[in-house]
Amino acid sequence: MPPRNRAAVVVLGDIGRSPRMQYHALSLARQGFLEVDIVAYGGSDPHTSLLENKSIHIHKVPQGPTVPQTFPKILRPLILIFKPIVQFIMLLWYLCIKIPAPDVFIVQNPPSVPTLVVVKWASWLRHSAFIVDWHNFGYTLLALSLGRSSQFVAVYRWIEKHFGKMAHGSLCVTRAMQHELAQNWGIKATVLYDQPPEFFRPALLDERHNLFCRISKSINQPYGLRDCIISGSTGPDGSYPNTTPFTTQIDSDISLKENRPALIVSSTSWTPDEDFSILLEAAVMYDRRVAALLHEDDSIGDETVWEEIHSGKQFVYPRLLFIITGKGPEKEKYEKKLKKLSLKRVAFRTMWLSAEDYALLLGSADLGVCLHTSSSGLDLPMKVVDMFGCGLPVCAVSYSCIKELVETGKNGLLFSSSSELADELMMLFEGFPHRCDALQSMRASLMERISSSRWATEWEENAKPLIHRVISENSS
C-alpha cells in the first residue's frame, strides 16, 4: 500500500485542554512532514501554532449527552451505558467517513471507552496503523467516582486492556507505567516523557508587564471587599495601564516593584485527584506564621496592612498572590471557600487564560504548585513540565513516581501535607525578592537545562522511530 502521508490524532476530550496531543500534532506536521487531522471535542481554543499550521486540520466532534444534576442517582448507570454508545457512533463516523484515511491513528488514553474500540475498528476498516498514547489508566479514573469494586470498573478495565493490546504500538509517560504495562498488561510501550515546547520560556519584563495589564481586571477583583493585592489608579475604561501589583511603567521604562508580592501559579482541573484544600490550609498557615513573626495580633486590621504595603515598606516574608488557572467540576465549591477566608498577607485569584497567556503567566511567576496525585500513581503532571520549561521551580505533592520528574532541591520540592507546604513557602520566600537563595538556586538549575529539555527533541528520539516503524510494518 503506498503511503498516504497523513496521520490522525484522536482525543475524546477538549483539544484545548489536551496539550500533549496538541504537541503530537505539531511534531507530526513539522518533524514528520505529514498532513494531520485532529478529531476531538471543541471547548477551549488550542495554541495558535496549531490554528496557524496549514498542515493541521481540526475536526470537532459533537459531545454526547451530559447527566443533569437533578437526574435520579438510581438511573445514572443507564447514562454510563447510553453515553458511550452515542460517542461510539459519532466517533466512528468521523474516523471512517469524515476524515481522509491516515497512515496511522494516534489516540489518547484515557478515556478508553469507547475510544480504543472505535479506533481499533477504524484502523482495521481503513488499513491504518494504531498507536495508543497512555497518559494514565481510564479504569482508575472511573474508580474515583464508582469505587474499585464496581462491576462497571471491572468491565472498563477489561476493555481498556483487551483493546490496548491490539494496538500496533504504544507510548507512555513514565518508566513506572512502562513497567506496569509490560508486567501486568502484556503491552510493550516506549516512554515518551512530557517536555515543554519552545513557547514555554521565561517571560521578558515587557511581556510580564503587558500580561499583568491585560489580566488586571481579574487581579484587582478580590473575593472580599479588599485584600493585600493593590494596584494603581484605573484608567477611564477600568484598566490599569501604567502600574500593576508587580511592575511600574514610566514613559517607556518598565521596572519590577521592590515590594511586589510573590506570584505563585497552580493550574488544576478541579477534580478529586487534586486536593485543593491542601493549598488553602498552607496559605492560612503562612499568613498566621508571618503575622506571628511580625508580632501582629487580631486587632491589626486589613487597613493597617494595606497602608504598610502602599507606603512601600518591605518585609522579610512577602505577600503571596496565588493565581489558580483551569476549569473543572469542583471550582465553584472552592471559590466559595476562598470567599470565607480572612487573610492579611495572602490572596487568591482564579481565572482561565488563553494558551498563549498561560505560558506567559508561568514565565512571569516565582513558584509553581502542583496538587496532582494521579489515580493510578503511574503518570506525571504535564503542568510541572511546562513550569520547568519556563524556569519555574515547583512544589509538588509527593506520590509514587513523581521523583521521575521533580528532583528535590534541584528543580523543586515535594510535600505530603499542608504543613509541609507551608514550611516550604516560608523557607523559599524568606528574603524575597533578592535574598531567597534556595528559590534562586533552583531557578538557575532549571535555566541550565532549558535548551536541552524540549518536546521536539524527545519526540524525535522516541516517538518518531516508533511511528515510522508501525506505519512501515502495517503497509508491508
Distance CA 103, CA 182 (A): 26
How far apart, in whole angstroms, are the C-alpha atoms of residue 342 and residue 385?
33
Give the DSSP letter of residue 403. G
At residue 78, the pLDDT reads 66
Domain edges within the chain:
6-195+454-475, 205-452
SS3 state of residue 2: coil
Order of strands across the sheet that contains 412-415: 346-351, 320-325, 262-267, 367-370, 394-397, 412-415
What's the pLDDT score for residue 68? Answer: 61
CB contact at 8 A, 14 and 41: yes
Assigned architecture for domain 205-452: 3-Layer(aba) Sandwich (3.40)
pLDDT at 186: 96
Q: In whole angstroms, what is the distance from residue 49 CA to residue 199 CA? A: 10
Look at residues 283, 163, 172 and name the one whose alpha carbon lies nearest to residue 228: 283
> What does the block give as the cell for 233?
489608579
CA angle (22 as vertex; 447, 168 as ends), nearest 5: 110
Structure letter (DSSP) for residue 299: T
Residue type, 380: L
Distance CA 11, CA 17 (A): 10
Peptide bond into 84 cis (omega under 30): no
Mean pLDDT for back-to-back runs of 10 residues, the chain (476 residues): 91 92 97 97 90 96 70 64 83 96 96 94 96 96 88 94 97 96 96 92 95 91 77 47 87 91 91 84 95 65 48 72 89 86 90 93 97 88 94 95 93 96 96 92 91 88 96 88
Q: Domain 6-195+454-475, CATH 3.40.50.2000 — does that match?
A: yes
Strand partners, 41: 14
Angstrom distances, CA of residue 144 to CA of 150, 362, 434: 11, 30, 43
Q: How far apart are the first and last CA of the chain?
A: 7
Alpha-carbon gap, residue 50 to 31, rounded angstroms: 14
pLDDT of 314: 54
Q: How far apart are CA 7 and CA 106, in angstroms?
A: 8
